[in-house]
Amino acid sequence: MSAVERPLIYANLRKPGYTVDLDCYIKHGGYEALKKAVAMKPEEVCKEVEVSGLRGRGGAGFPTGMKWKFLDRKSGKPCYLVVNADESEPGTYKDRQIIYKDPHQMLEGIAITAWAIQAKQTFIYIRGEFQHGAQILENAIAEAKAKGFLGNNILGTGYSCDVVVHRGGGCYVCGEETGLIESLEGKRGYPRIKPPYFPAVLGLYNCPTIVNNAETMAQVKHVLAFGGAEFAKIGIPGDSGTHIWGVSGLVKRPGLYEIEAGKATFGQLLYDFCGGPLEGRTFKAIIPGGSSTKILKFGERFKGKLPNGQEFDWALEDIPLDSNSIAACGTGLGTGGTIVIDDSVEMIQALSNLNAFYAHETCGQCTPCREGSLWLSRVSKRITTGGGLETDVPLLLDIANQVAGRTICAHGEAVAWPVQSAVPKFKDEYLDSIRRRKNGEEVSSVKLI
């Protein structure tokens, strides 16, 4: 059976003639979910989101309703909502579409969330490079305020919440929630240590803070529109709603495909939706959910047990597109940004490209990450320039093993995982690259470093 898309988040923005204006959004049923939400008590809205089973769309996949429950209500301090629109995980480009083409959808989710958690103020932290995106959001906020959907006395409830758009400075680590908070406070984006700095307890200005991804906000709008129990029926138990798969790299039709969770496989995504490999090529590997997730190799067998006890034995093409199945294969759904690599690519160059990224983006606070990312980058690069030694392959793994788990934030894991997953799978190819380059043999590959 062939798989089909189920656009929820992208349903309107793909329609010809759909614009970013408030009028257009209202014509398409906009802000009806907010009206529904403010007719309920805030805690009832939280309950709907919890029942929906919605998981955050920023990469970690944490249940949204549970995150909101962690808010420290006893401190008496005001609480803040911070929306993470700092889309910067390589391979990820889903939030850009929402911001540029359907900003009110996200703003409606924000208004609902702010009401649910009774936020004093909301900040949208947007990538500095999305300058026009920030402008579009600011225009949309002004429109929504004029109609009482945001700002003072929202829909006559007496509840007020201002929304401020805050542009970042082009820094990957500010996508990490505590780094983002530091940045929003006007400092370097150095992530904070947890404990004690769990944002829900000690977040922005040391007040309880919820940090949610931009797409998660858009999903919240649909949770309220459907009702939590109905929304939970979309997808599969444990992973509800749709996932936006942003496929990039070497396929015939790279692009964004919105698919109900668990209702298609990687094989269907790559062959049916993306049209398969480029002419005369074959697929070699994918990085499934943004560059920090562990690489999967074609030809591997994935065996194990799902959380519900079901045993599986899959080829890469058979893996269902839901977070539990993908996690059971030793990697993660992440942001759904799938990078596709084919047989024309020399794998050490691909690894070296990512190592250079992480070395550039480490904030420098923790020694293992600062030094480790730089060494990984240097060692992998020297292989690509003919100076590699056979011992460099275990050396890469050794360095990565000393970074993961030894840092304040998950950037350490992001540095280590591409290496830790790729070295065992492509060791022989790396050794071959070292030998061939030493011998001055020709290497044909698209240049990646």
Q: Which of 243, 244, 427, 270 is nearest to 340 (CA)?
A: 270
Q: Write down the least CB distance from residue 278 to other proteins, Å.
A: 10
Q: What's the one-letter identity of residue 216?
A: T
Q: What's the one-letter identity of residue 163?
A: V
Q: Write down the least CB distance from residue 394 to other proteins, Å.
A: 24
Return d(Cα 146, Cα 140) in angstroms, integer: 10
Give the residue with the Cβ less far from other proteins, 237 or 254.
254
Give the residue with the Cβ less far from other proteins, 83 or 171.
171
H, E, C per residue of 45-105:
HHHHHHHHCCECCCCCCCEHHHHHHCCCCCCCCCCEEEEEECCCCCCCCCHHHHHHHCHHH
Q: Write down the least CB distance from residue 237 to other proteins, Å.
A: 30
Give the residue with the Cβ less far from other proteins, 209 or 324.
209
Give the residue with the Cβ less far from other proteins, 209 or 265.
209
Residues that bind other proteins (CB under 8 A): 19-20, 87-93, 95-97, 99-101, 121, 127-133, 135-136, 162, 164, 166-172, 183-189, 205, 246-250, 254-256, 287, 291, 337, 339-341, 345, 350, 353-354, 356-357, 360-361, 363, 446-449
Give the residue with the Cβ less far from other proteins, 50 or 342.
342
Q: Write down the least CB distance from residue 249 to other proteins, Å.
A: 4
Q: Write down the least CB distance from residue 308 to other proteins, Å.
A: 33
Give the residue with the Cβ less far from other proteins, 19 or 157.
19
Angle at 421 between CA 417 and CA 425, to 5 degrees: 160
What token pair was written down for 184? Answer: 């929003």
Return d(Cα 32, Cα 306) in angstroms, integer: 38
DSSP state of 234: S
> Considering all CA atoms of the chain, what is the largest pairwise distance in Å, rounded to the nearest integer?
76
Q: Write down the least CB distance from residue 99 to other proteins, Å.
A: 8
Q: Considering just the CA atoms, what is the radius of gyration of the chain in Å? A: 22
